[in-house]
């Protein structure tokens, strides 16, 4: 075990009894043996406790039940319970690949690296692989200028050094969504990020996901970016700030236009995007598609 630092894995869950056992098992089956799994049950009303009772005899497993307070508080409770020098996360409906830690942990050899993340695969409700292209370019090193424009880090793939949490805090409990982007932005100011191109995490695409709430997602993205820029006004160049705002408004416009088949609201968002970055090619292309009703 001396060559394997303890890794704490936090799984926050709410009414995920149908998927949670597979998530827990995927972490416990790691080739890296020095780990602990902390399941924080955020007031589930289904069979969650019963579904994972078979893990109670495993010394690496801990089950913590709380009143329903939302995922940020549940994740922070898991962090408070954790003991590892490094910390990982797995959503209750997702899976870790068995060699995830073996592949990612060596990248922490450099003490300036605070976050190591990897590529992600996709599965459906039945656990079958889905062929889906990589949505974003991934970056390593000092990533703030890239990260402020797009959250390119698949949350469940990320491992963090505990010192990040000690120095730069935990999840913002005032945010119902986007808490990972907020965390990565803060960590990126003082730490380097490392990307491993191997697929180490399986993200489940299904009808009950919070990620389908695109309006909430963009509303919180605006809050997060506003908060970050107010707290760290000199962290990034003005041109990058303009591009970041343009990206949020353009992407929200395209999402609303596509999902709701409306014109006025997406048009206003696109105008905001162009105002922030009038050379933004994506914004002009989106405007043309909207006007021609091709979104």
Last residue of a domain, one of 166, 193, 211: 211
DSSP state of 141: B
- Helix or strand holding residue 221 (H, E): helix 214-231
Same-domain pairing of 182 and 280: no
Residue pair 162/191 in contact by the 8 Å Cβ criterion: no
117 vs 275: CA distance, rounded Å: 34
Averaged over successive runs of 10 residues, the pLDDT of the chain (295 residues) comes to: 87 97 98 97 97 97 97 98 98 98 97 98 93 90 97 97 97 96 98 98 83 86 97 96 97 95 96 95 95 85
Tokens of 3: 């060559």
Report if residue 174 sits inside a domain.
yes
Identify whether residues 66 and 136 lie together within a single domain: yes
In a domain, 182, yes or no: yes
- State the pTM of this model: 0.94
- Round to whole Å and give the CA distance between 72 and 160: 17
Alpha carbon 167 to chain centroid distance?
Answer: 20
Distance CA 295, CA 258 (A): 6
CA distance 248 to 250: 6
Indicate whether 207 and 242 sit together in one domain.
Answer: no
Q: What is the gyration radius of the CA atoms in the chain, in angstroms? A: 20
Whole-number Å distance between alpha carbons of 8 and 80: 11
The predicted pLDDT at position 295 comes to 77
pLDDT of residue 134: 83
Position 232 in a domain = no
Residue 169 lies inside a defined structural domain of this protein: yes
Q: Among 211, 228, 251, where does a domain finish?
A: 211
Q: Give the domain extent around 264.
A: 237-291
CA–CA distance, 98 with 231 (Å, rounded to integer) = 39
Give yes or no: residues 61 and 197 share one domain.
Answer: yes
Residues 92 and 195 in one domain: yes
Same domain, 59 and 134: yes
Q: Is residue 175 a part of any domain in this protein?
A: yes
Provide the pLDDT for residue 39: 98
- Return the pLDDT at 207: 78
Q: What is the pLDDT of residue 210?
A: 60
**Domain shared by 95 and 203, yes or no:** yes
Number of domains in the chain: 2
- The Cα 121–Cα 129 span in angstroms is 8
CA dihedral 220, 245, 290, 284 (to 10 degrees): -160
Q: SS3 helix, strand, coil % of the chain, rounded to 5?
A: 45, 20, 35
| DSSP conformation class of 159 | E
139 shares its domain with 268: no
- Kind and range of the H or E element at 88? strand 86-89
Domain boundary among 168, 194, 211: 211
Q: Are residues 30 and 127 in the same domain?
A: yes
Give yes or no: residues 111 and 45 share one domain. Answer: yes
Predicted pLDDT at 9: 98
- CATH classification at residue 24: 3.90.550.10
The span from the CA of 196 to the CA of 116, in Å, is 7
Tallying the residues shown for the chain, one arrives at: 295
Residue 253 included in any domain = yes
pLDDT confidence of residue 3: 83
Tell whether 230 is covered by a domain. no
Task: Report yes or no on 225 lying in a domain.
Answer: no
Give the model's pLDDT for residue 211. 61
User: Is residue 12 located within the same domain as residue 48?
Assistant: yes
Burial of 85 (0-12, 13-18, 19+ CB in 10 A): middle
- Both 76 and 129 in a single domain? yes
């Amino acid at each position: 075990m001396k060559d394997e630092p303890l890794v704490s894995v936090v799984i926050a869950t709410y009414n995920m009894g149908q998927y949670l056992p597979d998530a827990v098992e995927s972490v416990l089956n790691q080739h890296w043996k020095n780990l602990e799994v902390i399941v924080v049950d955020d007031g589930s009303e289904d069979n969650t406790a019963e579904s994972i009772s078979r893990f109670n005899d495993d010394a690496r497993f801990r089950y913590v039940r709380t009143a329903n307070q939302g995922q940020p508080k549940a994740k922070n409770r898991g962090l408070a319970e954790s003991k590892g020098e490094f910390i990982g996360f797995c959503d209750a409906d997702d899976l870790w690949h068995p060699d995830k830690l073996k592949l990612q942990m060596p990248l922490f050899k450099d003490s300036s690296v605070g976050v190591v993340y990897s590529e992600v695969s996709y599965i459906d409700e039945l656990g079958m692989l889905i062929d889906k292209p990589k949505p974003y370019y991934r970056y390593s090193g000092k990533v703030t200028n890239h990260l402020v424009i797009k959250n390119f880090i698949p949350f469940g793939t990320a491992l963090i050094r505990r010192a990040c949490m000690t120095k730069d805090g935990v999840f913002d409990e005032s945010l119902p969504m986007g808490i990972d982007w907020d965390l990565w932005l803060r960590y990126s100011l003082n730490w380097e990020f490392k990307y491993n191109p191997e697929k180490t995490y399986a993200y489940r695409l299904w009808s009950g996901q919070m990620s389908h709430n695109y309006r909430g997602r963009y509303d919180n993205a605006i809050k997060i970016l506003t908060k970050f820029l107010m707290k760290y006004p000199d962290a990034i160049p003005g041109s990058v700030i303009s591009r970041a705002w343009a990206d949020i408004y353009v992407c929200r416009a395209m999402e609303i236009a596509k999902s709701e088949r409306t014109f006025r609201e997406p048009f206003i968002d696109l105008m905001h995007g162009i105002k922030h970055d009038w050379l933004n090619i994506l914004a002009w292309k989106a405007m043309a598609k909207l006007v021609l009703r091709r979104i």
